[in-house]
Amino acid sequence: MSWYQKEISLRPRIRGIHLITDEILNQIPQIKNYNIGLMHILIKHTSASLTLNENFDPDVRSDMEKYFDKTVKENEPYYDHNSEGPDDMPAHIKSTLIGNSLTIPITNGKLNLGTWQGIYLCEHRNQGGSRKIVVTISGEEKA
């Protein structure tokens, strides 16, 4: 079994749910070297998250954003943490609810995703800036 790890940066995005599968894969061409394995992806931030969901209809992304904005509201009077703006504490809550990592199987040098699945960056801040992700691959390399 072999291991590979790389920290990558994603381009800055505004608040929303953004499909990033290709952006990750473009920075990790080493995936093609693996017959079978796992790719673990960790976002190194507490106000953004990662999820796996439908990659075809963009309405899914906007509906998810609307749901989380309605469920986790800004400016709640019970928030103590509010020094970084009204979007910060809700961003931390959303990040906890959605999660900060994914593990995806690799088969024949490709992510083994379903037909309609893609990796999303959930940017919970109005202006989150560039986000850092650590990608770790473990598996059997091609001969």
> Helices (H), strands (E): how many in the chain?
3, 8
CA–CA gap between residue 91 and residue 71 (Å, rounded): 12
**Mean predicted lDDT score pLDDT of the chain:** 97
pLDDT of 100: 98
**β-strands 2-10, 131-141: how paired?**
antiparallel
pTM: 0.95
pLDDT digits (tens, 9 = 90+) for 57-114: 999 999 999 999 999 999 999 999 988 999 999 999 999 999 999 999 999 999 999 9
Fold designation for 8-141: Jelly Rolls (2.60.120)
CA–CA gap between residue 5 and residue 40 (Å, rounded): 9
Listed by start position, the domains of the chain span 8-141
Of the pLDDT bands very low, low, confident and very high (cuts 50, 70, 90), residue 25 is very high
